[in-house]
Amino acid sequence: MDVSEPNQSLALPDDARTRDGVATTESAQHDHVKEVTNHARQEEDRGQAARQHGPPREDAEARRGRRRQERLARLMRPWWVEDPALLARELGSLAGAGFTLIHRGLTDGHNLQLGIARKKRRYQLIFEDDYPRGGLVLAQSLGPRRVQGYARHGVLRDRPATLAALRQVDEYLAQPRVQTGGRVLVPTEWRSLPEGAHGTIAFGVASSAQALLPLRLTGVNDALSARLASASGPLAAAFPYSLTGLWASGPALPGLERHTGLFAHVEKTLASAHGLSRSAIRRRLTSEVGALHVPDGYYRSSWHFVGRRPDGRPIVMTTVPLARESLGDRAPDARVLASRHVAIVGCGAVGWAVAVRLARSGVCRFTLYDDDQLYVGNLARLGGFIPDAGALKVATLADQLQTIAPSVTVRGHAFAVGRHVGAAALLEGAPDLLLNLTGEELSTDETNIAALRLGVPAIFAWVSNGVAAARIFRVRPFASACYECVRESGPPVIRSYGRIQPGDVRPWRGSVLDVEAFASTVAQVTVRTLRGDAVSHANPDHLLLDFGGLTPRARRIDIPRDPRCPRCR
Ligand SMILES: [Zn+2]
């Protein structure tokens, strides 16, 4: 996120940006060159006119020299001298928007520079040489959180470029940051550091902005820095935003648990370690996190994190120890599943619930395929939340999976297998298992072909309309019947409350209670397949589920391979 990587340089940006009102420096320079050429041509014309009207008193050489000087002087006259009305208009619009002018000066490159303030916030404006001719104005916030915005003069009809640039700055400044009472999750590895060090520290921030994860720090040797970064790495996906801070090691104080005492102690330690004045550290902590490391034996050292609210009030955050291994204690198959890659076609009610169960069981790598958006109605059956409405199912599910457990990586594809892409797309990343949870024919054929081509198992599972019954069917390529063999054998039809016709946009009937019971069974079969369990009554290739009772009743079905199958013979 831009805001966390403030650009301290006052140079005008040279990258092309596509937002309205924002020009590239290159085109601005081009205009400038054109303008210079025009000026020169006008000067020549005027010179010729003068020659015709009166007898020259200077000799030709001196006259040419004087004209050259005049021309240069005119070209070097800054725009605000040439066009004072424009500057007056700019200052007027700033005053109208509540800004006070506190400084006016020049940059090293002789650009006009204005220091302005509104409420407690201070900004700087820098105008390009050719501002009146469509040049840029750069706005930058001053103080600890330096962010920039820029806009081009004359592009926006409704408001001056200066106000547009300032508005960008304010928008960046309003983006998420740590809130009061935030929590900092500290991996076990971070609890041992040498004494007496200090430096900067980078945090990842969760979307909720309430939880932080330390990612990297400076001020220690490279090996230690790399070890700490790699401890946080597997968790980083759950903390997409970034924030910077300062840290220092120091002694604990008795009675540290007292909120204000702890805060003052951390702030004082940081100020002295970093050679900052109390007011400088105070200012920095309104936008950065302060961290105190208290060494106390190899695995017993502790961290304290503080900040200040925008109004200056101190915040002491909660430190939460984070032992990644403790997840494995409760997921017995996690060690085996960690290296497995599962591709899931269809991320609806069934696919969503299966994916979540697999991630909690220890599967770390997923590829998801689904072109649907998530709507409020979907929340009745799948694990999204109201703010996710309108987002792609694959995107929201990917976010969730990555926050369920460390090291989970997800690739989401918003296209429909069978309609937009074929089997070849499913070969990406060579998954160890394919799951088709669409209950739909076209993608099922493509999944079957991909499984045979990869030589990896595929599991097909779907519920009937109304969840009266369900089917789970596993293809072990060239060892069990493939999907085509089964289709040819005409298996028993599952019980259903009517059929959903292709193209019918109404949702199928069924409660989350039944769907999740079904998803648990599908996840169970998936885990047994990934573990490499032998085929047995507890791990069958073909299973029918009857949802007539309190829990679904399972019936195993055996379907042999078809020796004439066009797909797998
Ligand atoms: Zn077959």
Neighbours of ion ligand 1 (CB under 5 A): 482, 484-485, 565, 567-568
Find the 502 Cα to ligand 1 centroid distance in Å.
25
In terms of residue numbers, what domain contains 396?
328-556
Residue 21 lies in a domain: no
Angle formed at CA 399 by CA 513 and CA 185, multiple of 5 degrees: 105
Of 174, 202, 231, which marks where a domain is finished?
A: 174
What domain count does the chain have?
A: 3
pLDDT at 470: 94
pLDDT at 176: 47
Angle formed at CA 389 by CA 383 and CA 391, multiple of 5 degrees: 90
Find the 569 Cα to ligand 1 centroid distance in Å.
6
Q: What is the mean pLDDT of the chain?
A: 83
Q: Which among 454, 396, 466, 456 is positioned nearest to 427, based on CA atoms?
A: 454
Find the 374 Cα to ligand 1 centroid distance in Å.
35
Do residues 125 and 116 lie in contact, with contact meaning Cβ atoms separated by under 8 Å?
A: yes
Q: Residue 431: pLDDT band by 50, 70, 90 thresholds?
A: very high
pLDDT at 48: 42
- Beta carbons within 10 angstroms of residue 411's beta carbon: 15
Same domain, 384 and 435: yes
CATH of the domain at 417: 3.40.50.720
Write down the number of H helices and E strands in the chain: 16, 21
Kindly report which listed range (49-53, 220-224, 428-432) carries the lowest average pLDDT score: 49-53
pLDDT surpassing 90 at residue 192: no
Q: Which helix (H) or strand (E) holds 517?
A: helix 512-531
pLDDT at 1: 29
248-264 mean pLDDT = 73
Find the 486 Cα to ligand 1 centroid distance in Å.
7
pLDDT at 181: 65
Residue 42 lies in a domain: no
Please state the φ and ψ torsions of residue 412, each to the nearest 5 degrees: -110, 135
DSSP line for 409-447: EEEEE-S-BTTTB-HHHHTTT--SEEEE-S--HHHHHHH
Angle formed at CA 488 by CA 485 and CA 490, multiple of 5 degrees: 115
Please give the residue that has the higher pLDDT: either 295 or 453: 453
Q: Residue 329: pLDDT band by 50, 70, 90 thresholds?
A: confident
pLDDT surpassing 80 at residue 250: yes
Find the 565 Cα to ligand 1 centroid distance in Å.
5
First CA to last CA distance, the chain: 53
Of 322, 338, 368, which marks where a domain is finished?
A: 322
pLDDT at 157: 65
Q: Identify the burial level of 486 via C-beta atoms within 10 angstroms of its C-beta, where 0-12 means exposed, 13-18 middle and 19 or more buried.
A: buried
Same domain, 450 and 518: yes
The runs of H, that is alpha helices, within 240-348 are: 259-274, 278-284, 325-330, 334-337
**Distance (Å, rounded) from C-alpha 315 to C-alpha 297?**
27
Q: Residue 528: pLDDT band by 50, 70, 90 thresholds?
A: very high
Same domain, 366 and 251: no
Of 125, 155, 174, which marks where a domain is finished?
A: 174
Do residues 149 and 17 lie in contact, with contact meaning Cβ atoms separated by under 8 Å?
A: no
Q: 187 pairs with which residues across the strands?
A: 322
Find the 345 Cα to ligand 1 centroid distance in Å.
20
pLDDT at 151: 84
Please state the φ and ψ torsions of residue 432, each to the nearest 5 degrees: -85, -15
Same domain, 382 and 489: yes
pLDDT at 260: 62
Residue 68 lies in a domain: no
Kindly report which listed range (212-216, 317-321, 325-329, 450-454) carries the lowest average pLDDT score: 325-329
pLDDT surpassing 60 at residue 36: no
Q: 344 pairs with which residues across the strands?
A: 368, 435
Give pLDDT tens digits for 62-118.
888 887 777 777 667 888 888 899 999 999 999 999 999 999 999 887 889 999 999
Residue 87 lies in a domain: yes
Same domain, 311 and 419: no
Find the 370 Cα to ligand 1 centroid distance in Å.
26
pLDDT surpassing 80 at residue 51: no
**Distance (Å, rounded) from C-alpha 276 to C-alpha 306?**
16
Q: Which token pair is 160?
A: 């001056």
The sheet carrying 314-316 orders its strands as 314-316, 302-308, 289-294, 241-249, 198-205, 211-217, 183-187, 318-322
pLDDT at 255: 58
pLDDT surpassing 50 at residue 513: yes
Same domain, 249 and 107: no
DSSP line for 443-495: HHHHHHHHHHHHT--EEEEEE-TTSSEEEEEEE-TTTS--HHHHHHH-PPPPP
Find the 459 Cα to ligand 1 centroid distance in Å.
14
CATH of the domain at 249: 3.40.140
pLDDT at 75: 66
Please give the residue that has the higher pLDDT: either 300 or 90: 90
pLDDT at 128: 86
pLDDT at 257: 53
pLDDT surpassing 80 at residue 16: no
174-197 mean pLDDT = 75
pLDDT surpassing 70 at residue 323: yes
Q: Which among 367, 361, 366 is positioned nearest to 337, based on CA atoms?
A: 361
Find the 397 Cα to ligand 1 centroid distance in Å.
32
Do residues 71 and 43 lie in contact, with contact meaning Cβ atoms separated by under 8 Å?
A: yes
Give pLDDT tens digits for 124-166.
999 988 888 888 899 988 877 777 788 888 776 667 889 988 9
267-281 mean pLDDT = 94
Q: Which token pair is 261?
A: 């005492």
Kindly report which listed range (2-16, 166-180, 402-416) carries the lowest average pLDDT score: 2-16
Question: What Å distances lie between residue 284 and 51, 129, 203, CA to CA?
Answer: 65, 33, 15
**Distance (Å, rounded) from C-alpha 211 to C-alpha 204?**
9
Same domain, 198 and 91: no
256-273 mean pLDDT = 80
Residue 353 lies in a domain: yes
**Distance (Å, rounded) from C-alpha 205 to C-alpha 211?**
6
pLDDT at 58: 62
Residue 549 lies in a domain: yes
| Total count of residues recorded for the chain | 569
Kindly report which listed range (11-25, 217-231, 500-514, 534-548) carries the lowest average pLDDT score: 11-25
Token look-up 């960046």 returns 172
Q: Which helix (H) or strand (E) holds 302?
A: strand 302-308
Find the 540 Cα to ligand 1 centroid distance in Å.
17
Same domain, 248 and 232: yes
Same domain, 516 and 388: yes
Give pLDDT tens digits for 333-346.
999 999 999 999 99
Please give the residue that has the higher pLDDT: either 513 or 313: 513
pLDDT surpassing 70 at residue 385: yes
Same domain, 226 and 258: yes
pLDDT surpassing 90 at residue 234: no
Same domain, 404 and 536: yes
Token look-up 């047994």 returns 528
Same domain, 350 and 230: no
